[in-house]
Amino acid sequence: MAKVTHERWKCISCGACANVCPEFWEMADDGKAKLKGAEYKKTDEGELGELTIDDAKCNKEAEAGCPVNCIHVKEEAGEEKKEEKAAEEKKE
């Protein structure tokens, strides 16, 4: 699993994410990028988008290419792996 977050208020509308990862990123009418299918919520700083997907795919490139570092990809272990880990910890 991978969790992609977008700190939209930091976006400078460069378009790099939509170029390298059009499957997930598009430029919205207000000129800023938008993570397709993400839920955007209002925070004190601005809009924060969150999307959980099975595979990070090109979001990794989008993260690496964003000049203001407002895209973050966090890969998470699946439920099975977590359970395995918990079982191992119990043994120790």
Contact footprint for ligand SF4 (CB under 6 A): 11-17, 33, 65-68, 70-71
* In the complex, minimum distance from the CB of residue 79 to ligand SF4, in angstroms, rounded to a whole number: 30
74 and 63 Cβ atoms separated by less than 8 Å:
no
CA distances from 30 to 7, 11, 19, 33, 84 (A): 15, 11, 17, 9, 45
Nearer to ligand SF4, 37 or 78 (CB): 37
- CB nearer to ligand SF4: give 4 or 17: 17
User: Which one, 52 or 69, has the nearer CB to ligand SF4?
Assistant: 69
What single letter denotes the amino acid at residue 10?
Answer: K
In the bound complex, what is the minimum distance in angstroms from residue 44's beta carbon to ligand SF4? Answer: 20
The dihedral region occupied by 31, where left means phi > 0, alpha psi between -120 and 50, and beta the remainder, is left
CB of 14 to ligand SF4, least distance (A): 4
